[in-house]
Chains A and B, each alone.
Chain A
Amino acid sequence: MSAQDAAVFEFIERVDAHVLIDDLLDDLLQVVANFGFQHMIYTGLPAGDSSIAPLVKTNRFPQDWWDLYVERDYARTDAVCQQVFAKVEPFVWSDVDPGFSAMEGAARVAGEAAEHGLVDGYVVPLFSRDEWLSVMSFGGPDKLMLSPRDRGAINLMAIYTSSTIERRQRKQPERGRLTGREREVLLWTSAGKSCWEISVILNVSEQTVRFHTAQIRAKLNASNTTHAVVRALQHGEITLGQLADRLGDIR
């Protein structure tokens, strides 16, 4: 067995030993560096018109790239993402079917990804514990030449890592507190304001407001905005007094 194969099986043996998910990701990124990767993300894929942001489980993509990806809703035009929907098989980004890479907007996403250090990558489709179509995607600064054994090794590491991450996140549900801006958006939403109206009030883009509402629903594990308001009240994230104030403002 090659030293590289041995490193992969050793990683599998210690995948459950890391106390912190961040340590696990550091370890994973160190092992996959041998294959040419520097970044990874584990995320669900958005169905219909929903945003990808609340589906992210762990993210080690460059932050500025990811902010752009979410804000511009690139999941919809990203050829890699679209191919996973069509064909649940691992593949190298640059080998994406021409049918997908020729779609409108796809070249722009790939080009901007490259500018952010994601020239090429490898994506492993997975089903999350709750059967949601997800991917673990690895990216790096150079064009990839992966042998079948390399691919098998990355698939294996992606499967073990994804399951460990999900089991950890389930044990310690990190219900993040809402940020000040998110609280603001939720209060205006509960007062009946549209995303566009809130974008004017807060002087941000409408897309940013949509991003915030998706984050709010994810943090509160809410299925829609009404549900999010109820849960925010339950958790003490907002108060009835604050709600009444906003309603007063629009009276």
Chain B
Amino acid sequence: MIEAHVVTTRNKHLYEREFEEFLRRRHEYYAVANRWVPISDDGLELDPFDTPHATYMLGILGDRVVTSARLMPTNLPNLVSEEFPHMCENIGLPRREDWADWTRTYVLPEYRGVGSTGILGQMFCAVMEYCVEEGISHIGGVLQQYLLKRWLDMGWNVIPAGLPRVLSGDWCLVAYIEVNEKALRTGREHASVTRPLVVRRGEQLPFIEPSRRPAIEANS
């Protein structure tokens, strides 16, 4: 089972090798193999949302980063707010620090396709575990339609922000999962996860930091 390490600006120095490996593998897959994003000179894939406010989760198996996730409070610029606000016609664009935008869900190709008990299911559980710990109330973002079924199969309550649309050839939508203990329990049951997966090393950065709130609101 994976260990899901929480990486923020505070403890990133402890994960330099893992973090670079993660960005490199993503770049290989998305840019080089599939040409979904531009090829970058340094072989690492970064986007405008790789800011000091992003929280990363690196799913590590043995000494390899096999899966990942990136979380961002929705009161800061995020993928949905900047690129897909028109896809939230049902609930309106969320802009709350306790609603998290979830991107960079990625599993190394050689670790894919092993059903509900696979790496992806474990990462889903780790993300839910982290959200419960951090007091996040909803987590979601833009996702491919087939992943919505995976979320629902975890026993999760998912709010569709809008109707699915075709984006670059794939049916996608914006949706948010309700975070709570029950969701963690049913998710673990579905993914056959029997223990906590989140690992925290070094100094931690709370996802919702009360002291940060006024400054952010002043900036926006």
Contact A130/B148 with A148-B165, A152-B173, A156-B164 known, Cβ cut-off 8 Å = no
A1 in contact (CB, < 8 A): yes
Number of interface residues of A (CB under 8 A): 27
Asked if B89 and A148 sit within 8 Å, CB to CB, the answer is: no
A160 to B175, CA, bound (A): 12
CB-defined contacts of A89 to chain B, threshold 8 Å: 171
Asked if B152 and A160 sit within 8 Å, CB to CB, the answer is: yes
Contact A156/B153 with A1-B90, A131-B115 known, Cβ cut-off 8 Å = no
Asked if A129 and B153 sit within 8 Å, CB to CB, the answer is: yes
A16 to B149, CA, bound (A): 14
Interface magnitude class on chain B? 20 to 34
A163 to B154, CA, bound (A): 9
CB-defined contacts of B160 to chain A, threshold 8 Å: 9, 12, 156
How far apart are A165's CB and chain B's nearest CB, in angstroms? Answer: 11
Asked if A90 and B163 sit within 8 Å, CB to CB, the answer is: no
Hey, which bits of chain B sit against chain A, CB under 8 A? 89-90, 115-116, 145-146, 148-149, 152-153, 155, 157, 160, 163-166, 171, 173, 190
Hey, which bits of chain A sit against chain B, CB under 8 A? 1, 5, 8-9, 12, 16, 88-90, 126-127, 129-131, 148-149, 152-153, 155-156, 159-160, 162-164, 166-167
Known A-B contacts: A9-B90, A12-B160. Give 17 more (CB < 8 A). Answer: A1-B89, A1-B90, A5-B89, A5-B163, A89-B171, A131-B116, A148-B165, A149-B163, A152-B163, A152-B164, A155-B171, A156-B160, A156-B163, A163-B152, A163-B153, A166-B153, A167-B153
